[in-house]
A and B are shown apart, each in its own frame.
Chain A
Amino acid sequence: MSSDNPIDGGSTDMLTDTRDARMGEGLDDRFNSRLREAFGSSPFILTKFDKFMNWVRGSSMFMLQFGIACCSIEMIHTYAIKHDLDRFGAGIPRASPRQADVIIVPGTIVSKFAPRMKRVYDQMPEPKFVVGMGSCTISGGPFQEGYNVIKGAEEVIPVDIHVPGCPPRPEALVYGVAKLQERIANGESSPVVVKPYELEQFGDMESDEVVDKLADQIDEDTLAMRYNWADSP
């Protein structure tokens, strides 16, 4: 990463002298950081741009302030005192999806909420990452058999990290976030999955019994999500 090659091929003594002269007596070398020292006298770090960007992304993640169900209480505990997710460079909850790059999905997703969650996810700028928190986001959890429950967040949006538990302890969530950082820093991304539930315009839906029944209630260009419960896991 570092390079010992001096900039102009000569010694840097002169530069150092000038700087010392400017700083005056009695001042410490606080402007000369340890990092700089470690790199030698050159102000350059040679690295791959991608690698650098990945490191930056992983080290400064803006989370979306997004609470759904019981898991969100443990998520708040993870942000708050004692567990303090901030320590890991991942702690500022952003109220607007347009300013966030990580969304923690903390809870059960039901039919009415899935289109809204999809919309929130779509509003986040790329690159974006998803942490699924709790059994509900994996499979529907304790409510898996419910008539109204989506069987996991992955039916709607891609998920990078799953944190199991009901609810996962804050430590588990911290571990999940750390894992995500590691993955991001290594430039790994989650495989593209085919998501069964998509938002589409009502007019584009294949006509069948339900669609026909609702035809006079819903506008052609209204966005809608269709749930084929029978095919759900």
Chain B
Amino acid sequence: MSVEETEETPEIEAGVTVEDEVLETLGDTAQDTEEHLNADASVVVRPDQVQDTLFALRDEMGYDHLSCVTAQEYEDRYESIYHMKQYDDPTQEVSVVVPASKDEPISQSAEPVFRTADWHEREAYDLVGINYEDHPDPRRILLPETWQGHPLGHDYDQDSPQIVTLGEWDNPLRDDHVDNEADTMFLNIGPHHPATHGVLHVKTVLDGETVADVDPDIGYLHRCEEQMCQQGTYRHQIMPYPDRWDYVSAGILNEWAYARAAEDLADIEVPEYAQVIRTMSAELCRIAAHMLALGTFALDVFGDFTAIFQYSFRDREVIQNILEDLTGQRMMFNYFRLGGVAWDLPEPREEFFEKTRDFLEELPAKLEEYHDLITGNEIFQLRCVDTGILEPEVAKSYGATGPVARASGIDYDLRRDDPYGYYDELDWDVITEDGCDNFSRVLVRMQEVEESAKIIEQCIDLLEEWPEDDRTIQSNVPRTLKPEADTETYRAVEAAKGELGIYIRSDGTDKPGRFKIRSPCFSNLQTLGEMSEGEYIPDLIASLGSLDIVLGEVDR
């Protein structure tokens, strides 16, 4: 094992105190410190001391949010990075770097500390090839079980043939799936099923009408997003991909995640005017995304294809129309550029403002209608109140974020807690609910739509007044970006589903050496078992709907 990396430039954000504190808490466990652009401290620990370190950081220093686990292969070693934050203050970040040897990449699992590590480490094993000792369930997660090799490792040959079985596609009535003794039955839901919102496969064990066990099987839409981003140049070739992670018209929110990480990496300033446009367009996207969540949830719970579903699509059409005026596309906007946005508001500006204002004006009445139809409906309440309970402590342990976390009373929103864009200049609130159930999650989304509308309105006021000679939409960005080799950053934004983080390590070329996406849906989906085991099967469907997952983002 070689960790010859005592580098580089001095700390930027003068996080010395935090680093000292961390080192003091960890004592001898820490071997070294490293430089990460965002994290105040970054410690290197031995692969057999992962659990001790994370326990210490969690229990003694309050780093209770394991945001992401990044795995990567270097010339001389493997490395897992645990990006940790605090739910109370996400600007407090620590990265725990765990090197593992090239010949025998074994590292201790962090699952006993944070349950979210379960899936993250499975993914790291699947794509990069690090083995985690102590892991409760060391299987592949995104690729089929029969896959050969680890595609993001160095010596993977993409042209070698692969065989994929249809065996997982089990027949629930087959002999070995019905257990006469225990009276349970195995049931496949998906991957082609109307209630799974895409191509999710939920392996369920039923005990009568009660769910005994669920195991979400993902990877049916694993489109190699990370590989695609590692093959693209920073300046233009990566930006189109984020649109396709969370593809329910939430594109701009995702673009912002990449923009934020890359701008941080390459030290790019964004003009204020562009920030306002970014904020406005991102919030429009959020409304569109929440509308879809609402419509499909009503579809799941009522089976209502006619009224509510169609209403929410009517409203989405209006937003898509506005966004099309702005960006030129209905869904895959590709509107952000590093250092700004692609172009200014459409001319004539007044028309655009008017159109958007009209939409905002009509919104409250529409929301009231939704409340009448959905939250005020008795059947809906029966199905959703007090079902799919997710306790805050459990949610934290699974790294849940976004509306899912906020509906469990966790007051966590990166727009406010780790401000970017123009959010901290505007007047709006973070919505939380204490119900922890399916109903609260719907309520949070519906109220967030109102907050987003507030933000958009303020942005429009600002844009209307903005002096004409100060409308810079992009700062000067070099044609080819080549950040210094081995600079790393992990940055997150509040996307429609929660914390969407990007880890980038540059290797000195114009393409990233490692590009890792921390998807909020991936973490949120893990809570499904907690929410639905022991409940009735219809509640499982409701819980799944209330999580509002998008498979493009879960699988990436």
Binding site for B on A (CB under 8 A): 65-70, 72-74, 76-77, 80-82, 95, 97, 107-108, 110-117, 119-120, 142-143, 145-149, 166-167, 169, 199, 202, 205, 208, 210-211, 213-214, 217-219, 222-230
Contact = CB atoms under 8 A, between A and B. Distances in A.
B160 A210 contact: yes
6 contacts: A68-B198, A148-B222, A148-B223, A210-B161, A218-B146, A229-B162
A117 B199 CA distance: 10
Interface of B: 143-148, 151, 156, 158-167, 169, 191-194, 197-199, 219-225, 227-228, 231, 240-241, 243-244, 247-249, 292, 309-311, 313-314, 316-317, 320, 330-332, 551-552
Given A70-B244, A73-B248, A116-B166, A143 B223 contact: yes
A209 to B, nearest CB: 8
Contact of B194 (A95, A225, A230): A95
A229 B160 contact: yes
Nearest to A68: B199
B129 to A, nearest CB: 14
Greatest chain B CB density within 10 A among A77, A119, A228 is at A77
A110 B162 CA distance: 12
B192 A116 contact: yes
Given A113-B221, A229-B162, A82 B317 contact: yes
Contacts of A111: 143-144, 147, 162, 164
A142 B245 CA distance: 12
Contacts of B292: 73
Contact of A149 (B197, B224, B249): B224
Contacts of B148: 210, 213
Contacts, number: 173
Given A80-B310, A82-B317, A115-B165, A147 B156 contact: yes
A66 B165 CA distance: 21
A25 B248 CA distance: 59
Nearest to A146: B224
Nearest to B218: A112
A106 B144 CA distance: 22
Contacts of B222: 110, 112, 148
B220 A72 contact: no
A77 B317 contact: yes
B221 A224 contact: no
A202 B161 CA distance: 14
Given A70-B552, A143-B224, A210 B199 contact: no
Contact of B224 (A147, A167, A225): A147
Contacts of A214: 146, 163
Contacts of B151: 147-148
B221 A77 contact: no
Query: What are the 9 A-B residue pairs with the smallest beta carbon separation, nearest first?
Result: A146-B224, A70-B247, A80-B313, A230-B159, A223-B166, A115-B166, A113-B220, A224-B165, A143-B223
Contacts of A107: 221
Nearest to B145: A217
Given A80-B310, A148-B222, A228-B161, A222 B192 contact: no
A210 B193 CA distance: 32
A188 B166 CA distance: 33
Contacts of B317: 77, 81-82
B161 A227 contact: yes
A77 B244 CA distance: 17
Contact of B163 (A65, A108, A113, A227): A227
A166 B332 contact: yes
A107 B247 CA distance: 11
Nearest to A229: B159
Contacts of B231: 145
Given A67-B198, A146-B223, A80 B331 contact: no
A136 to B, nearest CB: 8
A84 to B, nearest CB: 9
A167 B331 contact: yes
A116 B168 CA distance: 10
Contacts of B223: 69, 108, 110, 143, 146, 148-149
Contacts of B144: 111-112
B214 to A, nearest CB: 19
Contact of A224 (B156, B164, B313): B164
Nearest to A223: B166
Contacts of A145: 224, 227-228, 231
